[in-house]
Amino acid sequence: MNAKVEFPAGFIVKAPHERAPEFVKATVSIKVDEFTAWLGSREGEWVNLDIKVGQSGKWYASENTYKRKADGDPPAPIKASGDFLEDRDIPFN
């Protein structure tokens, strides 16, 4: 997981107004100059944002920088949880 959280400049998320219809899930305000500059600093064709709710209850957006591994990449090795040195050390063998 990426330790550094990127917040998009000029992109404000708020909870829907209490009298908003149920199908309204969030309100987004975009400050065009700030958001355009922030988008210009990103690489690639797409920018993905996640809308989240903080522990304080405040809504916010953060950039989702998850990158899927290429199909040719081998899976990460599985770490053993015990100190089994040989097959005979496995209790269910």
pLDDT in tens, 2-56: 468 899 999 999 999 999 999 999 999 999 999 999 999 999 999 999 999 999 9
Name the residue type at position 11. Answer: F
What are the strands, taking DSSP E only, across 31-87?
Answer: 49-53, 59-63
**Helix, strand, coil distribution of the chain in percent, nearest 5:** 15, 20, 70
Give pTM, 2 decimals. Answer: 0.64
Q: What pLDDT is attached to residue 4? A: 85
Half-sphere exposure of 84 (CA within 13 A, CB side): 12
